[in-house]
Amino acid sequence: MSEDVLVRTLPTPNPQAIKFVVNKAIKETGKATFEGPNDTKGLRLAEDLFAVSGVIQLHMFENVVTVTYAEEADPQHLKDNVIAVLKSRLPVHDPSFVLEEEKKKDRSQLSPELQQIEEILDRTIRPALQADGGDLDALDYDNEEKILEVRYQGACGSCPSSMFGTLEAIRGILKDEFDPEIEIMIG
């Protein structure tokens, strides 16, 4: 069965993250970020990936797993072991899993401003971040102070360019399309 799982690795702008693209669904809807082994919530695929030496974070969406790894890890050894886990676990993995945090995220319950921000991010920013193995969560918007709190996910979470270049791009797009006075804060 593992022969049916094809895995391709791609670099990300983050020197400590690798994007693994497979020919099977990892996560049918939404996305999931696991900050460490205690965060796996019983998901066997995530548990087994954290068992690979050096893995410190996982980000899953569609047919992609982005693995962020410790600086001292050997990237080739890590790639080989992650591929082995993906090939052995994906045939029995359930890609329809839904985390509790996802159940709580119903955009219809967001303020109209945050709904508009989410739509802009979906259309302009998220596709590029996801192509690089990461993503972005809009956590909160303070309408009076005009401050948007965001959190990077996946490869973007520890990437030096996300803290400067990407943040400026987000700020510029939201100033242009939403409110010229908006400020962005990383949460």
Domain closes at, from 48, 83, 101: 101
Three-class DSSP category at 16:
coil
Instruction: Indicate whether 91 and 29 sit together in one domain.
Output: yes
Angle made by CA atoms 124, 187, 116, in degrees to the nearest 5: 35
Instruction: Indicate whether 77 and 11 sit together in one domain.
Output: yes
Look up the CATH number of the domain holding residue 182.
Answer: 3.30.300.130
Q: List pLDDT tens digits, range 122-139.
A: 888 887 788 777 788 888
Question: Domain range holding 47?
Answer: 2-101
State how far the Cα of 181 lies from the Cα of 62, in Å rounded to an integer: 35
Q: Give residue 153's identity as a one-letter amino acid code.
A: Q
> Residue 101: is its pLDDT beyond 90?
no
pTM of the predicted protein model: 0.77
Three-class DSSP category at 24:
coil
